[in-house]
Every structure is written in structure tokens, then in C-alpha cells.
């Protein structure tokens, strides 16, 4: 029997541009590694090769009026400082760039025949869903369409504190409803996100399943750490974007209290914050002035360098928003569990992270509970000094859950109906 053929339409396969792109590339690689024949069309704006995968970077579509309207709009906004896109999205639901990109994907998509593939998967990042829009227009693909929905959409369906109402929100809601109605299969990265979106889009309830973010353990073992990072120290690492809702104040205060109460730790402990934090940058830099053990790298590091640091840190940190619950599966959790190091989870107790780590997982605190954070760091530091840091979660189970064999079985069972 020949290997199943899968066509993937994805925004970007540039692993350095966002966590969403990295998660999508991991999906592509694991499909390849488990024997599927994979073809990828993407809009990364440059040619990118993935070994063993046929990749096509879709070209510009300058014959499309939306191409010129989008650029005219950008120039006008730059000159006059008018938010013209808001008026346009209020009337049409989406930007000219969105329509142009959907047309670009559609032009590439019609060069393929649905009969030549067993499945088509649409992957996006952020609030894009452009590949989904292209497949939505092409009914011939619908019976083989797996729509992967990585985040809540539209923004007014985000949980607090992220929720806000966009211009043209009613058009965006209707767009997502059509996706959930027309796609043959729908997948989410987390169980709680599946439940969250099913409350707004009833069609999700009977055609959805969970495809978690995928691990890349092979790359971790081959990655070296930067020169500034000493793996022999008690290194605490948060890697990723500290957006407005992810406030590191409690973590920083807990770390300061931990150092003050443990003079021995001052020569052994480091707190690394790697990634942008524009809303919190001044507060972080002010803390650094008094606590030299804090290392802040707002420009980030290349993806695989960060994986190496995660693999060699003493403790990896997952920091989520201060909220009653969190349906998101942080992409970094996959690399953190693969490193098999303790994870300090700062966020809601009702979250996808805690669902996977277990209700009794010991290294959890709300993000502003600096006293609890300090206490956890003390316990972990004592283990570190005794040479016995333990993951305290079922790493084998989670690595299987995030791994390629489990993913392959999901595709066979849920979409291809093979054993």
C-alpha cells in the first residue's frame, strides 16, 4: 500500500518568525517522519526547504486589485496616521492583504487535484486563517479537509483577559462558522480549547479532536548552548513573548525574595527572560539594576539555540495570563517536557498545562503569588544542591502524547479511517 499523500497549506514555515510557525513546522516534520508523503504550499516570502518535503512558496499576485489597494492603504496610513484598515474591515470584515493572500493561496491550490491526495490540512498562526479561506472557497477539497484551529477566533471569543471586539467581528465570526461547517475534520491543539470553541460553534462538537503541538526531540539533543549560559548553575528560564497579559512581576519578586533568603543562591542562581517584553521592559530593566542575576534578552535567540538552553536549564518556566482559566497549550511546553526538567507553571489552576501535568503537580502558582513562587524556588534549589532535580510529571506519557507515533495514529484513526 502506498504512503498516504497530504497537502498542507500554511502561512509560514520560517521557524524564527513566531511560535506559531515553529509549531506548524513540527507538524509537517512529524508527518514526514512517520511515512506520509507531504507537499506544502506556504507564504513565507522566501524559499525554505524542509528535507523530505516538497515545499512551494506561493508568489505575489500583483494582478489582484487587493494587492495594490493594500499597498495604497499602507502608504496613506503612514502619511496621514489614519487607521484606514478599521473602516475597511468594519465594512468587509477583512483587510485587503487578507483577501490578496487568500487569492494567492487559491491560485496555487487549483494547480493540484483533490483526487491525488488523501487529506488537505490548513495551518495558520495568530489571527490569520488565510489558508483556511482559500480551501473554504474550493468545495472539491471539503471532503478531505482537516482545518487546524490553533487559537480562539474571532478575538471576541478569546477568554479574559485577551478578549476584545475587532472591526468587522460579525464577518469574522461568520467566516469561522463556515469553516467549522464545511471542513470534514477539525483539530485543536488542546482539549480545553476544543471545548471552548465548541460552545460558540456547535459543529465542532461532532467533528473535532485534539492534535497537540508536536515535539522535536531530535534537534534538542544536537543543540549547543550560547557561551553566556553556564549549564552548571541553577538556571531558571522563561523563553517566549511576555505580552501585556503575561506579567512577570510576581516571578521577579519571588526570585528576589528567594535570593534574599538564600545568600548561597546568589552565586548559583540565574533567571533568564528570553524574548520580547515591550510592555514590561522598563520594569524588568529596573529590577535588573538591583538583581544582576536576572538576564534579559528582549531580542530573543534563534529557535534552535533556545531549544538548547531549555534542554540545559535547571527549571523551565511557563507563564500564562492572570485569568480564571486558560484553554491554551503553550507551544514551549512540548520542548520543556522533552527536556525532562522541572517546569514552573505560573498561571490558572484550570488550564491545559495543568490538565497535562496533573492536578497534584507541585510546582504551580498563580502568577502574582510571589510568596508561593519563592517557596517553590527554595524547594527546587534544595533539590539542585542535592543533585536530585526531578521532573515530577510523567515525561514518558507526555512525550508520547506530543510525539510523532501518536500523531500518526490520530490521522489514521480520525481522518483516514485506517489502522
Which of 402, 32, 339, 419 has the alpha carbon at shortest distance from 189? 402
20-36 pLDDT, tens digit per residue, is 899 999 999 999 999 99
Average pLDDT over residues 313-333: 96
356-369 pLDDT, tens digit per residue, is 999 999 999 999 99
Grid cell in block for residue 61: 499576485
pLDDT of residue 370: 98
pLDDT at residue 287 is higher than 60: yes
Alpha-carbon torsion (409, 350, 247, 361), positive or negative? negative
**Low-confidence winner among 88-102, 194-208, 232-246 (lowest mean pLDDT):** 88-102
CB 269 within 8 A of CB 294: no
pLDDT of residue 14: 92
Q: Is 317 exposed, middle or buried (0-12, 13-18, 19+ CB in 10 A)?
A: buried
Banded pLDDT at 82 (limits 50, 70, 90): low
pLDDT of residue 68: 74
Q: How far apart are CA 159 and CA 139, in angstroms?
A: 32
CA dihedral 4, 214, 275, 10 (to 10 degrees): 20
Contacts (Cβ under 8 Å, ≥6 apart) of 137: 102, 106
CA dihedral 141, 109, 172, 174 (to 10 degrees): -30
Q: How far apart are CA 160 and CA 323, in angstroms?
A: 6
Homologous superfamily (CATH) for 221-396: Glycogen Phosphorylase B; (3.40.50.2000)
Could you tell me which residues are beta bridge partners of residue 120?
7, 145
CB 28 within 8 A of CB 10: yes
5-214+403-416 and 221-396 share one CATH topology? yes
DSSP H stretches of helix in 291-366: 303-312, 332-339, 352-357
Q: How far apart are CA 302 and CA 16, in angstroms?
A: 6
pLDDT of residue 200: 98
Outline where DSSP puts E strands in 163-291. 185-188, 208-210, 234-239, 269-274
Grid cell in block for residue 16: 524564527
pLDDT at residue 87 is higher than 90: no
pLDDT of residue 1: 64
Neighbours of 10 (CB within 10 A): 27
CA dihedral 304, 308, 313, 316 (to 10 degrees): 30
pLDDT at residue 372 is higher than 50: yes
pLDDT of residue 118: 98
Banded pLDDT at 419 (limits 50, 70, 90): very low
pLDDT at residue 74 is higher than 90: no
203-248 pLDDT, tens digit per residue, is 999 999 999 999 974 554 445 789 999 999 999 999 999 999 999 9
Angle (nearest 5°) at CA 109 between 108 and 115: 140
Average pLDDT over residues 150-161: 94
CB 10 within 8 A of CB 40: yes
Neighbours of 3 (CB within 10 A): 11
Banded pLDDT at 53 (limits 50, 70, 90): very high
Banded pLDDT at 126 (limits 50, 70, 90): confident
Q: Name the residue ranges covered by the structural domains of the chain.
A: 5-214+403-416, 221-396
DSSP H stretches of helix in 95-190: 96-109, 130-136, 169-182
pLDDT, the chain, mean: 93
Q: How far apart are CA 54 and CA 340, in angstroms?
A: 33
Which of 376, 342, 336, 361 has the alpha carbon at shortest distance from 250? 376
Q: How far apart are CA 357 and CA 345, in angstroms?
A: 9
Homologous superfamily (CATH) for 5-214+403-416: Glycogen Phosphorylase B; (3.40.50.2000)
Task: Measure CA 252 to chain center.
Answer: 24
CB 275 within 8 A of CB 298: yes
Contacts (Cβ under 8 Å, ≥6 apart) of 360: none
DSSP 266: G
pLDDT of residue 73: 75
Backbone angles phi, psi at 232, to 5 degrees: -80, -15
Average pLDDT over residues 100-125: 96
Average pLDDT over residues 312-322: 97
Give the highest mean pLDDT range of 58-62, 118-122, 155-159. 118-122
Is 55 in a helix, a strand, or coil? strand
CB 331 within 8 A of CB 23: yes
The total number of residues written for the chain in this structure: 419
Could you tell me which residues are beta bridge partners of residue 122?
9, 147
Average pLDDT over residues 159-183: 94
Amino acid at each position: 500500500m502506498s504512503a498516504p499523500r497530504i497537502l498542507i497549506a500554511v502561512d509560514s514555515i520560517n521557524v524564527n518568525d513566531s511560535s506559531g510557525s515553529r509549531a506548524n513546522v513540527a507538524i509537517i516534520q512529524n508527518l514526514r517522519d512517520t511515512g506520509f508523503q507531504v507537499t506544502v504550499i506556504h507564504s513565507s516570502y522566501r524559499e525554505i526547504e524542509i528535507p523530505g518535503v516538497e515545499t512551494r512558496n506561493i508568489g505575489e499576485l500583483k494582478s489582484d486589485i487587493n494587492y495594490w489597494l493594500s499597498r495604497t492603504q499602507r502608504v496613506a496610513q503612514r502619511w496621514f496616521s489614519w487607521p484606514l484598515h478599521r473602516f475597511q474591515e468594519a465594512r468587509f470584515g477583512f483587510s485587503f492583504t487578507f483577501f490578496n493572500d487568500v487569492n494567492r493561496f487559491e491560485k496555487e491550490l487549483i494547480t493540484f487535484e483533490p483526487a491525488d491526495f488523501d487529506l488537505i490540512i490548513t495551518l495558520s498562526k495568530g489571527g490569520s486563517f488565510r489558508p483556511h479561506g482559500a480551501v473554504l472557497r474550493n468545495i472539491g477539497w471539503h471532503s478531505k479537509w482537516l482545518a487546524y484551529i490553533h487559537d480562539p477566533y474571532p478575538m471576541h471569543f478569546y477568554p479574559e483577559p485577551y478578549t476584545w471586539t475587532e472591526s468587522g467581528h460579525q464577518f469574522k465570526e461568520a467566516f469561522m462558522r463556515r469553516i467549522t461547517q464545511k471542513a470534514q475534520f477539525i483539530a485543536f491543539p488542546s482539549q480545553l480549547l476544543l471545548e471552548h470553541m465548541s460552545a460558540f460553534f456547535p459543529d465542532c462538537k461532532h467533528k473535532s479532536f485534539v492534535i497537540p503541538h508536536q515535539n522535536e526531540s531530535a534537534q534538542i539533543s544536537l543543540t549547543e548552548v550560547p557561551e553566556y549560559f553556564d549549564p552548571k548553575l541553577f538556571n531558571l528560564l522563561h523563553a517566549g513573548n511576555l505580552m501585556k497579559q503575561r506579567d512577570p512581576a510576581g516571578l521577579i519578586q519571588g526570585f528576589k525574595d528567594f535570593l534574599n533568603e538564600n545568600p548561597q543562591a546568589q552565586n548559583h542562581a540565574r533567571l533568564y527572560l528570553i524574548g520580547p517584553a515591550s510592555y514590561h521592559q522598563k520594569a524588568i530593566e529596573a529590577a535588573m539594576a538591583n538583581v544582576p542575576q536576572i538576564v534579559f534578552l528582549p531580542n530573543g535567540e534563534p529557535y534552535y539555540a533556545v531549544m538548547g538552553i531549555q534542554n540545559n536549564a535547571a527549571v523551565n518556566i511557563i507563564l500564562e495570563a492572570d485569568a480564571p482559566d486558560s484553554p491554551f497549550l503553550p507551544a514551549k511546553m512540548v520542548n520543556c517536557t522533552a527536556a525532562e526538567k522541572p517546569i514552573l507553571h505560573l498561571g490558572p489552576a484550570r488550564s491545559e498545562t495543568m490538565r497535562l501535568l496533573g492536578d497534584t503537580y507541585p510546582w504551580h502558582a498563580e502568577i502574582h503569588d510571589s510568596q508561593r513562587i519563592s517557596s517553590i524556588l527554595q524547594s527546587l534549589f534544595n533539590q539542585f544542591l542535592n543533585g536530585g532535580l526531578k521532573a515530577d510529571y510523567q515525561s514518558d506519557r507526555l512525550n508520547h502524547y506530543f510525539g510523532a507515533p501518536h500523531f500518526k495514529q490520530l490521522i489514521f484513526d480520525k481522518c483516514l479511517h485506517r489502522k
